[in-house]
Amino acid sequence: MHLDGILIVNKPAGITSHDVVNFIRRRFNLKRVGHAGTLDPMATGVLVMLLGKATKLSNTFLQDDKEYIAKLYFGKTTDTQDSSGRVIEEKDIQGIDMEDIKKALSDFRGEIYQIPPMVSAIKHKGKKLYQLARLGKTVDREPRKINISSIEILDFKFPELTFKVKCSKGTYVRTLCEDIGRSLGVPSHMSGLVRSASGDFLLENSKNMEDADEKDIISYSSYDRHI
């Protein structure tokens, strides 16, 4: 079967992005399948799958801005900056003023510097950071410049804040959640994440991977942005 195109999958929680690659490879009997931007196992949402010749578009799609709906839990910090990790700091907090939260979020708009988490795939002396983290090691990481083009509150039910953020490639939302809490003097971590958009591709146009078939594949040759 020769299928060259783009398939937008709504990744479920609990599996890796590579698990989705393997599933799509088997489903369509393809050798060449890739994706344009990893989602962590706990995250759901838009995963841009590239089939056949479309795999050569990977670097282009990786440059696209992403949009996420994130949940931030106030009161606990974990060693992975999300709810899958071990709690390393906990603080009893009675409440947080909404105006303080709004001010904190506004301080993160625009170009900012972010220190990548130890659970990232960035390499240090030939080793991926998450591999070092599994060995209990922590190394210094250089801050990286990112851009937060928009960030807005969707809901707040103490101690959990739900917000939407549109950001540049290379942004770690888990780190953003911890940094927002830190700016308020409160330990915090990311308790949920949905990628709602990746470039032009939207969550409402994505398919559950079990339901995807050939008619859902966007033709590689007809994708005029890259012709």
Q: What region, left, alpha or beta, does residue 18 occupy, with left being phi > 0 and alpha being psi -120 to 50 degrees?
A: alpha
**85, two tokens:** 């990790």
- Distance between CA atoms of 165 and 32, rounded to whole angstroms? 32
Q: Which residues contact 95 (CB under 8 A, 6 or more apart)?
A: 158
Q: What region, left, alpha or beta, does residue 71 occupy, with left being phi > 0 and alpha being psi -120 to 50 degrees?
A: beta
Contact 224, 112 (CB under 8 A): no
Contact 113, 141 (CB under 8 A): no
User: Dihedral of the CA atoms 62, 9, 133, 181 (nearest 10)?
Assistant: 80
Catalytic residue among 19, 40, 97, 179: 40
**Annotation says 40 is catalytic:** yes
> Which residues are tagged catalytic?
40
